[in-house]
Amino acid sequence: MEIVFTDQNFDQEVMKSDKPTLVDFWAPWCGPCQMMGPIVAELAGELGEKAKIGKLNVDENPVTAQTFTVMSIPTIMIFKGGKMVQKLVGVQSKEALREALEKI
């Protein structure tokens, strides 16, 4: 299931997560983010418990966006063991995201 990450829960849900975690940095004003959203949601449904997948609204959660120098959206980051291990800028296909998760 897709999770909504925030400045408040990021440390607990992402940095301290015991499984690979994919974060979709997005904002409502961004056209390509509207395309990315359903792809991420679909992937979350398909992967089930294998990985944690969710989105973070950069407008409402500027602290996390700034911490990871997000200056372009959509940006996808994959975290593992409390570290950012993969960063993908721009719209990604579901296959590309799945592959990126399998690689790490």
Partner 1 sequence: MLNAKMDKVYDLIIIGAGPAGLAASVYASRYKLEHLIFGAEAGGQMNEIYDIENWPGDTRISGHDLIARFVSHVENYGVKIKKESVGSVRKNDEGLFVVETSRETYLSRTLILSMGAKARKMNIPGEKEFTGCGVSYCATCDAGFFRDKIVAVVGGGNSAAVVALELVDFAAKVYLVSVEEKLTAEPAWLEKIAASPKIEVIKDTHVLEIKGEGKVEKIVLDKVHEDRTYLSVDGVFIEVGTEPGVELAQKIGVVIDAQNYIYVKEDMSTNVPGCFAAGDITTGSNKFRQVLTAAAEGSIAANGAYKQVKLNQPLTKTI
Q: Give the shortest CB-51-to-partner 1 separation in angstroms.
A: 20
Measured CA to CA, the distance from residue 32 to residue 47 in angstroms comes to 23
Task: Specify whether the CB–CB gap between 55 and 10 falls below 8 A.
Answer: no
Closer of 49 and 69 to partner 1 (Cβ): 69
Q: How far apart are CA 57 and CA 79, in angstroms?
A: 17
86 touches 35 (CB < 8 A): no
Marked catalytic residue, from 2, 9, 17, 30: 30
Rounded to the nearest whole angstrom, what is the least distance from the CB of residue 29 to partner 1 in the complex? Answer: 7
Number of residues that bind partner 1 (CB under 8 A): 24
Which stretches of the chain bind partner 1, using CB under 8 A? 27, 29-35, 39, 58-59, 69-75, 87, 89-91, 93, 95
